[in-house]
Amino acid sequence: MAVESPQHADRHVETRASRHLLGAALSLQCKATILVVILTLLVTVGVSGYLLRSSGELARYEHDAHVVQVAALLAKAAVPPMEVDDLEALQTLASESVNGEPLVYVIFFDEDGRKLAAAEDSEEGVLQELDGEMKGHVPVPGRPVFRAGPGDASVFLDVTYPVSSRNPVQTVSEATGATAPSVLLGYVRVGMVSDYWHETMASKLDLVIGVGILATMAAIPLGFLLVRRIVRPLDGLADAMLRFSQGELDVRSPVKRSDEIGRLGLAFNRMADQQQATHDRIVRLNAELERRVVQRTQQLRELASRDPLTGLYNRRYFNETLKRRFSETLRYQTDLSCLMMDLDGFKAVNDAFGHQLGDELLVLTANTITSQLRSEDVAARFGGDEFIVLLPQTEAGRARVLCERIIEQFAIDVMERLPQVRSSISVGIASLPSLDIKNPDLLIRAADHAMYEAKAAGKNCIVAATSVSASTPS
C-alpha cells in the first residue's frame, strides 16, 4: 500500500480547509440573504396589510355613504306621494329607481312596517325573502348592513332611511328658538350591489401584491450585495487566519474598517503581532539553548576525554584518535609515530615524599610534554606514570629529536620546581611505515616494548622499535 508523503497530506488538508471555509462563507451569505429577503417580505406584508385594511375601511365608508346618500335621495323624492298616499306614484318611483341605479331593490313602508310599494331587480329575487323577514318589524334606520341574496345572488348593502314630511309651517319656540320637528311618514329600504366596494378592494389587493413582488425582487439583489459587503471582509479575515494557522506568521488581515468586523481584524492583527514576537523570541531562545547545549556537550565530551589530574587526554580518547589516524596513514601512505613514556623512579618518589608530591611530578611531566608538541599532536596519560604521544605525519628521526627535547626540558623543569626529586623519563618509539604493522594496537605494543627496552638499557634514554617484538636502544 502506498504511503502518502507529508507534503502531499499537507496539501490535502489545506485544500479541504479551503473548501470548508468557502462552503461556510457561502452558507452564511445565503442564509443572511434569505433572512434579509424574509424580513423585507414581512415588513412589506405588514405595511401592505395595514394599507389594505385602511383602504378597505375607507372604501367601505365611501360605499356606506353612497348607499345612504341614494336612500336619502329616494326618501326625499318619496315625500310628496307619501303625504297624499299616492301609492301608484310611489310604485313608479320605486321601479324607476331600480332601473336607474345599481339597486337590488327599493321598498317603501309606513312607520308601522306595512309595505306601501316595492320594486326589485328581476335578476336577484330577494323581495320575497325580505317580506318574510320584516312582518311589521322596522330595521334600524341609517345603518348599512351587508346581506347576501338567496342562492347564488350577489352580496349587496342594505340600508333603511326615514321619510319625513316637509312641514311648510315651521313653529319656533320662543324660549329656545328651536324649529319644530318634521313628521315621520315612513321608511325607504334599499339594497345596493357591492361591486364598487369589491372592485376597490380588488384593485387595492392587486396593488399590494405588485408592491410585494417588486419589493421581493429588489430585496434579493440588494440583500445579496449588502450581505456580500459583510461576508467579503470575513472571507479575507478567515483566509488570513487559515494561512496564519498553517505557519505564515507574517500574514495579516487586510480588513480596514471602523465597525465590528474592522475591530475583529485589528484584534487578529494584534494577536498575530504578539504571536510572531513570541515565536521569534522562542526561536532566539531555542538557538541560544542549542548553542549552549552544543557548547556544554563539547565541554562534557572534553571532560570525559581528559585525565582529571594532568589535563591530558585519557586512554579511551587516545585509542579512538589512534584508530582514525592509523587508517589515514595507511590510506594516504604518510608517516605516523607513537611515543610511550614512563617516569623513572616514580615509586621511590611516592614512597619518600608522599602521593601529593607524586601528583605534582605527574602534572609537571604532562606540562613538559605538551609544551614541546604541535597542535595536531595528541598526548595522553596511558596509566599510572605512563604517558603516550601520537605524532601524525612524523617519521622516526623527527620523533627521536622531539623525545630528546622532552627529556632535556623535563630535567630542567624538575630541577627548577622539584629540586628534591630525582627522576627522569624513558621513551619508546614506534613509527610507520618503518614498521610493517596493520593494527593500531600493535603500534602501541611496539612502542611499549621499546620503552621497556629503554628502562632495561639504563633508563633516561630513547629506544626505537624495529619490529613489534624487537627494538634498538640509544
| Helix, strand, or coil (residue 425) | strand
What is the Cα–Cα distance from 27 to 21, expressed in whole angstroms?
A: 10
Place of cell 318634521: 182
Query: What is the C-alpha separation between 327 and 379, in angstroms, rounded?
Result: 19
Beta strands 462-465 and 471-473: pairing type? antiparallel
Residue showing cell 346581506:
147
Pick the closest to residue 196 from 96, 70, 54, 62 (CA basis).
62
Helix (H) or strand (E) holding 99: helix 87-100
What's the rounded Cα separation, in Å, for the pair 17 and 23?
A: 10
Residue showing cell 622539584 = 418
Q: Count CB-CB contacts under 10 A for residue 154.
A: 13
> How far, CA to CA in Å, does 406 sit from each of 341, 395, 461?
10, 17, 11
DSSP string for 31-94: HHHHHHHHHHHHHHHHHHHHHHHHHHHHHHHHHHHHHHHHHHHHHHHTHHHHHTT-HHHHHHHH
Q: Environment class of residue 178 by beta-carbon count within 10 Å: exposed (0-12), middle (13-18) or buried (19+)? A: exposed
Could you confirm whether 235 is annotated as catalytic?
no
Q: Which three cell numbers stand for residue 40?
A: 423585507
CB burial class (10 A; 0-12, 13-18, 19+) of residue 432? buried
Residue at 21: amino acid letter: L
Query: Of 379, 420, 381, 384, which Cα lies nearest the Cα of 403?
Result: 379
Please report how the helices 87-100 and 6-77 are oriented relative to each other, as an axis angle in degrees rounded to 10: 150
- DSSP β-bridge partners for residue 184: 164
415's CB contacts (< 8 A; 6+ apart) are none
Please tell me whether the peptide bond between 433 and the residue prior to it is cis, using omega within 30 degrees of 0: yes
The residue annotated as part of the active site, out of 121, 344, 385, 448, is 385
Residues serving a catalytic function are: 385
